[in-house]
Amino acid sequence: MEKKKVVVGLSGGVDSAVSVIRLQEMGYEVEGMFMRNWDSSINNDVLGNPHTLDSVCPQEVDYMDALKTAEELGIKLHRIDFVEEYWQRVFSYFLDEYRHNRTPNPDILCNKEIKFRSFLDKAMEMGFDYIAMGHYARIIHLDNGDVKVLRGVDSNKDQTYFLCQLTKEQLQKALFPVGDLEKKEVRRIAKEHNLTIANKKDSTGVCFIGERNFKEFLKNYLPAKPGKMETLDGEVVGEHDGIMYYTIGQRKGLGLGGAGDAWFVVGKDPQRNVLLVGRGSEQEYLYSNRCIVSNVNWIGEEIDENKTYLAKFRYRGVDNEVKLHKLENGCLEVSYVNKAKSVTPGQAAVFYDGEVLLGGGTIEDVYMNNEKRRY
């Protein structure tokens, strides 16, 4: 019987490297593909988009690590350029959301548009049967062609939150070889196979752009509009660099001190270009009990409005018990069984039935009872 062909998104990290090892052990014919999605040297003449050159991207270092891993594992490595697709489908949206004073999650869109669209299309064009990623998630391919996505075994590394916008068609061609492992086991396997990157630090920061001083990075693309910081009572307590650079619940980087509890961002007033702040992490204005979610992608069974589901409103956030109500415009009204903190427009609301990922959407408006929060 002919072996199934799988191409792994080889990022230069340990998770994708161990994905290759596990697939080889399962009997697949494996190759790697390195995605080049960001180019620090791009200027207006290349993509026709005005933006300032920024610092050297670490992506070339990752490519060399991926190349070394491919050599050590005896697989072919392809290098594919998706720079233009990333700019048009991910980064432009990312900037537009910030212009509207919302807090987007580019990693979710990156999965939807690059890793499981551009990458997947290229893999199918090249004759592969599946693509594989080093995501901490589990996928079950059912006999009827359907799929179920479950949280990764390592709850500290679970990445199903970032998969909430994937369609069943995309998932049917996907494998997640390390989803049933804990991170320490992944590193053990890498060391066992004498991989150079076995102890490489996990990547952080924006998808494919990396770890940076985020405010300074954004200033390259979105000019700052300084303004005042006020309390909910209207007292001016400081100045901000531009309300787009701050998110609800943020504590660090406000430049406010003095005796008493720490200051937190509790809201925004875009019309006046005012950032709303308050003392203490338990500010009542940070809490809500209802939100409206748009752009809903659903891969689970039909919604039961009498059932209690689980929702995450941030990647590292806790599970919240919620009820879901379908609105005529295609949005979901999400009512929390208990209050939730710092639910932020532009971020993703991701839904689960226990361990099973059901889908997700974009938080639009946030309410406490019938009062709309100024987020």
At which residue do the structure tokens 């491919």 appear? 70
d(CA 343, CA 290): 9
| CA dihedral of residues 57, 60, 66, 67 (deg, nearest 10) | 180
CA atoms within 13 A on the CB side of 331: 12
Q: Residue 199: what are its φ and ψ, rounded to 5°?
A: -110, 15
d(CA 310, CA 351): 6
d(CA 180, CA 111): 20
Is 110 part of the annotated catalytic residue set? Answer: yes
d(CA 115, CA 175): 12
Dig out the tokens for 201 from the structure. Answer: 């630090």
| 25 SS3 class | helix
Is 207 part of the annotated catalytic residue set? Answer: yes
Cβ-contact 297, 359 below 8 angstroms? yes
Catalytic residue from among 57, 110, 164, 291:
110
Catalytic residue from among 57, 164, 207, 291:
207
d(CA 203, CA 289): 34
Dig out the tokens for 163 from the structure. Answer: 């998969």
d(CA 66, CA 26): 21
| 276 SS3 class | strand
Name the residues annotated as catalytic.
110, 207
